[in-house]
Amino acid sequence: MSSRILLVEDEPGLIMTLSDLLSEAGHEVETARDGEAGLAKASEGRFDLIVLDVMLPKMTGFEVCRRLRESGADFAILMLTARSALGDRVGGLQIGADDYLTKPFEPPELLARVQALLRRVGKENRLGITAFRFADVVVDFERAELLKNGQPVSLAGKEFQLLRYLIDNRRRVVTREELLTNVWEYSGDVASRTLDVHIAWLRQKLEANPQSPRHIHTVRGTGYRFSP
Ligand code: CA
């Protein structure tokens, strides 16, 4: 199936090689040659995936990635890092990249990563983000780990699933029924007090001031809304 891919890269040779490769694989490819242009295109276009070089003129790939995630962009992001330094990899994943590839790489390897990411996106029918950052919190969905201010916070399974659902549906109001159906797989009138209790626990663990939450908002009479 054809996907829309944005390639943000400044090396002309690589732009040509990768554009051809991705087009031949049946994808629609657009390109941007610096960080600012990449951010602008990504913000207005409907893309399934962005291949984002870290070292770019005008704005680094890290900055582009961070800004996109902060604005709620939820397409897959594959970062191209210049070296194998762990710092680059961890940094990229913490700011919301889904995967990374270290330069130099063989073009078929990039295609394989792209196809794997697109499959994951399609299968989960959502963005399939593997990590998400907001305020001083980093959530690693693959390892089911959460760091607040660099310190691990322990979450029960349902708390984690609830947080995941809220993050996947960030910025929109999710109703109580929706949460009970999707997170608890309840239908009908099971005591929805369970939901309030779990929301309270999440706030205790994640909010600076649980009495006056900045991220997990109550929408009276309806449900909740998560804002990063
Ligand atoms: Ca570059």
Please tell me the distance between residue 220's alpha carbon and the centre of ligand 1 in angstroms. Answer: 48
Please tell me the distance between residue 8's alpha carbon and the centre of ligand 1 in angstroms. Answer: 9
Please tell me the distance between residue 154's alpha carbon and the centre of ligand 1 in angstroms. Answer: 38
Please tell me the distance between residue 6's alpha carbon and the centre of ligand 1 in angstroms. Answer: 15
Q: Give pLDDT, residue 145.
A: 87
Please tell me the distance between residue 111's alpha carbon and the centre of ligand 1 in angstroms. Answer: 18
Please tell me the distance between residue 37's alpha carbon and the centre of ligand 1 in angstroms. Answer: 14
Q: What is the pTM of this model?
A: 0.55
Please tell me the distance between residue 198's alpha carbon and the centre of ligand 1 in angstroms. Answer: 45
Please tell me the distance between residue 40's alpha carbon and the centre of ligand 1 in angstroms. Answer: 18
Please tell me the distance between residue 81's alpha carbon and the centre of ligand 1 in angstroms. Answer: 9
Please tell me the distance between residue 84's alpha carbon and the centre of ligand 1 in angstroms. Answer: 15
Q: Are strands 151-153 and 216-219 parallel, antiparallel or unpaired?
A: unpaired
Please tell me the distance between residue 134's alpha carbon and the centre of ligand 1 in angstroms. Answer: 27
Please tell me the distance between residue 128's alpha carbon and the centre of ligand 1 in angstroms. Answer: 26
Ordered by where they begin, the domains of the chain are 4-127 (3.40.50.2300), 131-226 (1.10.10.10)
Q: In what order do the strands lie in the sheet with 131-134?
A: 131-134, 137-140, 145-148, 151-153
Please tell me the distance between residue 56's alpha carbon and the centre of ligand 1 in angstroms. Answer: 5
Please tell me the distance between residue 57's alpha carbon and the centre of ligand 1 in angstroms. Answer: 8
Q: In what order do the strands lie in the sheet with 223-226?
A: 173-175, 223-226, 216-219
Contact in structure between 143 and 149 (CB atoms under 8 Å): no
Please tell me the distance between residue 26's alpha carbon and the centre of ligand 1 in angstroms. Answer: 25
Q: Give pLDDT, residue 179.
A: 87
Q: What is the pLDDT along the chain (228 residues), one digit of tens a residue?
A: 578 999 999 999 999 999 999 999 889 999 999 999 999 999 887 788 999 999 999 999 989 998 988 877 778 899 998 765 556 666 666 667 888 888 888 888 999 899 888 877 664 444 456 788 888 898 888 778 899 998 999 888 889 889 998 988 888 888 888 888 878 776 555 567 888 889 999 999 999 999 999 999 999 888 999 988
Buried b (16+ CB within 10 A) or exposed e, 167-192: bbbbeeebebeebbeebbebeeeeee
Please tell me the distance between residue 139's alpha carbon and the centre of ligand 1 in angstroms. Answer: 28
Please tell me the distance between residue 10's alpha carbon and the centre of ligand 1 in angstroms. Answer: 5
